[in-house]
A and B are shown apart, each in its own frame.
Chain A
């Protein structure tokens, strides 16, 4: 479990799979989820294995999640925003209409 060493400050509220999380602003979705105790953020399309953020620099694509309805977003490259809806990505994502 990641622990924060930052001074207490304001937070923004995001939702992960429907559950509200109050997280520090200015950080990536992946960092916010990890500090909130979320380890697994998707299942692979092939084997269905659980995966979570791995590289945190935008190269491994293991942290793909659905953000505000858009699938395949790199959680480590998107900054949290108040009201953001984040969902874990299960298997192959549906093609948006």
Chain B
């Protein structure tokens, strides 16, 4: 089969933008496919046109995305925006929908750079309108210049503090920051500190973020349990217990965050092998040092290959492109390795911060797996932790059988929001390692595609009958 492109990159965040621009620079015919209307992914979302009157609100790290977007725009890459990928076939064809029309795009090599999503934080009332992720609050800021004054932020992790800082710079008062970081984490993180110090300026930036929050006089509440979103039809208040006393904070907005996990749906549906990362508390694909997955001709770059952050994602993208160029015979192995050496070195340095961050901000067990039976785990199908425990008591062996028992994971999100909870819940109930529980078997289409769109799918020009 003659492919339409040498390389297809899926996702226009830091990894995807860097991979596409690098591949183009190496003379590869490159297509970059992305679901958003503009490049940037989530971390650099709306980098070309953030509507905030004062962009400084978003911070200096955000501006790092401008150079990536400019390099992409200045390249010969075929950039397909507002285009949804719903499958990657074993023949390296990519099923896409754009403006209501579906088609297949073929490429000799595919780089999946679909990034991450926020780890679910299932607690009573988290499905109420008004409860959103902290990342969603940031999307509102970046894409709509909108803030919710008087909001409560709850959870743990660097991104939570970053977004709180952005709110403060935007002049939006915060009712409270409920920090759910377990107090004992510091003891597991401390031995990892020397290595983290070798990772450049991450720690200094983190300390500055915490200092800004402290100086702004934000009400920070620690050592809580029983965190709950309260209200009927819409969030009215946030409840928690502290020191044995129950308290509530009236608010219309609660923003939750407890770290991010790789967005694995497309890579899993493409057949790439994955494993459970017990430190990151998430599934990640098995990849070699160049991002090559277990599927021939498919690489995975950026946070979708395991959480490393924006700088690592950019390096991942460049490395995957260099390796693809080598695999396709565009450059020799020696040249690939020569060009990659400084990228590998920078990547190793940046990753030194991760074990420290993963230990310090490891979310509490009972915030990942709800103890109360009435907490909804599967938002799509309204399946509670109690429903899942009841199915397990009846002999349901795993996540895939759980679908038949409860419909858990069978809604439109295809398990993205319940999957991490479900595997950990089953492991906890069974007393077995998460790796033994496994994950949902994911199949294409990984995003909804209408029958009309499918019926009208044009085969890729060189693959008769390929549809």
Contact = CB atoms under 8 A, between A and B. Distances in A.
Chain B CB count within 10 A is highest, among A1, A32, A61, for: A61
A4 B145 contact: yes
A79 interface: yes
A49 B144 contact: no
B431 to A, nearest CB: 30
Given A2-B148, A26-B51, A55-B118, A61 B411 contact: yes
A77 to B, nearest CB: 7
Contact of A1 (B51, B233, B252): B252
A57 B117 contact: yes
B280 interface: no
A86 B387 CA distance: 34
Interface string B121-141: 000000111111101100110
Interface in B79-129: 82, 84, 117-118, 127-129
A56 B132 contact: yes
Contacts of B82: 79
A2 B133 CA distance: 14
A5 B132 contact: no
Given A7-B53, A39-B234, A60-B417, A72 B140 contact: no
A55 to B, nearest CB: 5
Contacts of B130: 39, 52
Nearest to B411: A61
A30 to B, nearest CB: 9
A65 interface: no
Contacts of A6: 51-53, 144-146
A28 B52 contact: no
Given A6-B51, A40-B233, A27 B379 contact: no
Contact of B147 (A2, A47, A55): A2
Majority secondary structure of chain B interface residues (helix, strand, loop or mixed): loop
Contacts of B379: 51, 54, 60, 62
Nearest to B448: A72
Contact of B148 (A1, A31, A55): A1
Interface in B276-308: none
A14 interface: no
A24 interface: yes
B382 A35 contact: no
Contacts of B57: 5
B117 A55 contact: yes
Interface in B227-285: 233-234, 252, 263
A92 B133 CA distance: 25
B146 A2 contact: yes
A64 interface: yes
Nearest to B413: A61
Contacts of A5: 52-54, 57, 145-147, 170-171
Interface in A41-82: 41, 44, 46-47, 49-62, 64, 72, 76-77, 79
B380 interface: yes
Contacts of B413: 59-62
A94 interface: no
A50 to B, nearest CB: 5
B380 A61 contact: yes
Given A50-B233, A56-B139, A34 B146 contact: yes
A32 B82 CA distance: 18
A35 to B, nearest CB: 5
Contacts of A24: 51, 144
Given A50-B234, A55-B136, A4 B416 contact: no
Interface of A: 1-7, 24, 26-28, 31-32, 34-35, 39-41, 44, 46-47, 49-62, 64, 72, 76-77, 79
23 contacts: A1-B148, A2-B140, A3-B147, A3-B148, A4-B146, A5-B52, A5-B53, A6-B144, A24-B144, A27-B51, A31-B144, A35-B146, A40-B129, A41-B129, A50-B129, A55-B133, A55-B136, A56-B132, A57-B135, A59-B263, A60-B413, A61-B411, A61-B413
Given A3-B148, A44-B382, 12 more contacts: A1-B252, A2-B146, A4-B144, A4-B145, A6-B53, A6-B146, A27-B143, A31-B146, A40-B233, A41-B129, A54-B379, A59-B263
